[in-house]
Amino acid sequence: MNPTLIVALLQQRARSLPRMALVFSFFTLPLMVLAFARGAGLAPLHVGQAFAVLLGTGIIGQDASSGTLQLLFARPVTRAEYVISRWLGAALAASCLMVAQLAIGAGLLAMHHEMPGAKELLLFAGEQLLTIFGMVSVLLLFSTMLPGIGDILALIVAGITGQALQLGAALFKAPWLARVGVELGRFVSPSLDLGALFGGGPVSWFEVVSYFSTVTLCVALAIVVMNRRELSYATE
Amino acid sequence: MRALDDVSLSVRPGEAFGIIGPNGAGKTTLLGCLLGLLRPDAGRIAVDGRPADDLAVRSVTGYLPERLVLDRWMPGLDFLAYHHALARLDPARRHDEAATALERVGLTQADGRQAIRRYSRGMLQRLGLAQALLGAPRYLFLDEPISGVDPAGVILFRKLLGEMRARGATLVINSHQLDQVERICDRVAFVRGGKVQSIETLEAGAAHARVLRVRWGANSDASALTPERLSTLGAGVGAALEELKPPEARFTVADDDGAAKLLATLLGAGVRVIEATPESGRLERLFVEPGKEKAGP
């Protein structure tokens, strides 16, 4: 992990006006819902995935397309260091936004005397955190392979394909196709239901292993792809 | 298509080594390989005995790319501070060294506070050189370093590169500016079609024939300025008169010594020489493909 690269990533993201406008919207709108609507609970704050997408889109592809990587990798910086710093930078920034939003949201709920319990808050924060790190890792992998913000397109296409496969499975009564669709969806949107995990019932180790293996695989593959990449002057 | 083929060369410590060649010859690819950004399919590249992409090598390497693509939102000083940090230089001296680097290349502190997107082409090139010089690197790889730089900048760049050499830095320069390559480099590799066609030491280059353009003043002895007389004077020292268009003439001379003898002979014959310039640099002849010397109108 390289703090210089993380700070540079955050500055780069903060300089993008459309990106920041969307982040601001996803930060404030759910809070406004909580401020004016009663009984919504924490549901409007399920926007960790949006923060991850907004801060993670083009996480490597934009650097690769702009041609700045050439100068960067002439410095004593390993490609693995770069990939991990980008991943952590985007995921930590999205996590900070999520935590800040949750803190304000909890305050608003407390004003309405609807404050959730500490366990519920912790589980919510934990789930959002895992979703953010998972989503950024998937974007990271796609971003090493696609130029510009092609990663978000790949994510959308993969998500739609997963849904289409599940629909097709229902039409053709093909359970294996449904399974493929579910797994594809699980891959492009890794998350863990901590409520179910810590709800007192039997622990689904498959879910736990599936989440962590997806994240690890995405980050590891992103490093492999970057390590194999040759950097010419040609913009992509 | 092979971008490079059977390339073998070595650069001596402290040397200024030029890479020249026509467009598409593979010069930039060669530089990319030397920096470890591109990987050759076969062969080995070593810098100080280590692989080109070794972090120990990169920590003592400065690089100025041909197409300088920068994070355009960054102010110039922040860009230098960023590269200072990436180069793992002393954080306590980051601000001072970034400011000094900026001034060394002729940019002001006010320039440094501006976002890079507001920089002109020449300013960008100066900023690029400033980042390459951060930490006084032992190896400097410069790809078209003076492209887009004004004459004052060219003189400054030459001075800075001279200072780096005086400190013992090894320079590898890829450039189409042959006159500058001649002035900076000790040796030059001529690359064509992905192959190193020749490696020239610039001293030895003096032995090659070239055309000298001689211009004289109005108070010259008119009897010495006839085509016959000038031909005879030239032939006496091994030079051939190519063209006479008073008040100047073009002579082909065999080498530096031939040029000196021709000038002495002309002066002795009453020709008041006020200017004598080589029509083409020593390296230009390398670009003339065998059998195509007479091509053109």
B43 and B149, same domain (yes or no): yes
B21 and B163, same domain (yes or no): yes
Q: What per-residue confidence (pLDDT) applies to A102? A: 95
| Chain B contacts in chain A segment 49-108 (CB below 8 A) | 66-68, 70-78
A10 in contact with chain B, both atoms CB, cutoff 8 A:
no
pLDDT at A144 exceeding the cut of 70 = yes
Render pLDDT for A158-198 as a digit per residue (tens, 0 to 9): 999 999 999 998 898 889 999 999 999 989 999 888 888 78
CATH code at B143?
3.40.50.300
Q: Which of B37, B58, B74 sits opposite A70 (nearest CB)?
A: B37
Chain A residues in contact with B88 (beta carbon < 8 A): 76
Taking residues A143-166, what's their average pLDDT?
93
Q: Are A57 and A16 in contact (CB under 8 A)?
A: no
B211 in contact with chain A, both atoms CB, cutoff 8 A:
no
> Distance between CA atoms of B265 and A135, rounded to whole angstroms?
82
Q: Can you give the residue range of the structural domain that contains A12?
A: 3-235
Count CA within 13 A, CB hemisphere, residue B200: 24
Q: Which of B55, B67, B141 sits opposite A76 (nearest CB)?
A: B55
pLDDT at B293 exceeding the cut of 70 = no
pLDDT at A151 exceeding the cut of 90 = yes
> Distance between CA atoms of A184 and A159, rounded to whole angstroms?
7
DSSP A193: -
A17 in contact with chain B, both atoms CB, cutoff 8 A:
no
A234 in contact with chain B, both atoms CB, cutoff 8 A:
no
In a domain, B92, yes or no: yes
DSSP string of A152-187, one letter each residue? HHHHHHHHHHHHHHHHHHHHHT-HHHHHHHHHHHHH
In a domain, B76, yes or no: yes
CATH code at B219?
3.30.70.330
In a domain, B3, yes or no: no
Q: pTM of this prediction?
A: 0.84
B60 and B160, same domain (yes or no): yes
B129 and B228, same domain (yes or no): no
B44 in contact with chain A, both atoms CB, cutoff 8 A:
no
pLDDT averaged over chain A?
91
Percent of chain B with pLDDT over 90: 54
Taking residues B63-71, what's their average pLDDT?
84
Residue B206: pLDDT band with limits 50, 70, 90: low
Q: What is the largest CA-CA distance in chain A?
A: 60
pLDDT at B197 exceeding the cut of 90 = no
B122 and B228, same domain (yes or no): no
Render pLDDT for A195-230 as a digit per residue (tens, 0 to 9): 887 877 777 888 899 999 999 999 999 999 999 988
Total structural domains in chain B?
2
pLDDT at A41 exceeding the cut of 90 = no
pLDDT at A115 exceeding the cut of 80 = yes
> Distance between CA atoms of B33 and A100, rounded to whole angstroms?
47
Which of B201, B231, B256 represents a domain boundary (last residue)?
B201
Render pLDDT for B29-39 as a digit per residue (tens, 0 to 9): 999 999 999 98
Chain A residues in contact with B38 (beta carbon < 8 A): 230-232
B156 and B277, same domain (yes or no): no
- Provide the ipTM: 0.85
B64 and B98, same domain (yes or no): yes
10 Å CB burial of residue A220 (0-12, 13-18, 19+) is middle
- Give the range among A92-96, A130-134, B124-128, B254-258 with minimum mean pLDDT: B254-258
Chain B residues in contact with A15 (beta carbon < 8 A): 73
Q: What per-residue confidence (pLDDT) applies to A164? A: 93
Total structural domains in chain A?
1
B47 and B165, same domain (yes or no): yes
Render pLDDT for A10-31 as a digit per residue (tens, 0 to 9): 999 999 999 999 999 999 999 9
B170 and B221, same domain (yes or no): no
B62 and B191, same domain (yes or no): yes
Tell me the residue ranges of DSSP E strands in chain B. Answer: 16-20, 46-47, 50-51, 61-64, 139-143, 170-174, 187-192, 195-201, 210-216, 240-245, 248-253, 273-278
B123 and B267, same domain (yes or no): no
- Give the range among A21-25, B83-87, B173-177 with minimum mean pLDDT: B173-177
Taking residues B262-291, what's their average pLDDT?
81
Q: Are B47 and B200 in contact (CB under 8 A)?
A: no
Q: What per-residue confidence (pLDDT) applies to A156? A: 94
Q: Which residue of A has its CA nearest to B36?
A: A74
B43 and B76, same domain (yes or no): yes
B84 in contact with chain A, both atoms CB, cutoff 8 A:
no
Q: What per-residue confidence (pLDDT) applies to B147? A: 85
Q: Which of B28, B29, B58 sits opposite A76 (nearest CB)?
A: B58
> Distance between CA atoms of B273 and B262, rounded to whole angstroms?
11
In a domain, B11, yes or no: no
Taking residues B122-148, what's their average pLDDT?
92
Q: Can you give the residue range of the structural domain that contains B111?
A: 16-201
Percent of chain A with pLDDT over 90: 68
How many residue contacts between A and B have a Cβ separation below 8 Å? 69
Q: What per-residue confidence (pLDDT) applies to B223? A: 82
In a domain, B292, yes or no: no
- Give the range among A27-41, A97-111, B83-97 with minimum mean pLDDT: A27-41
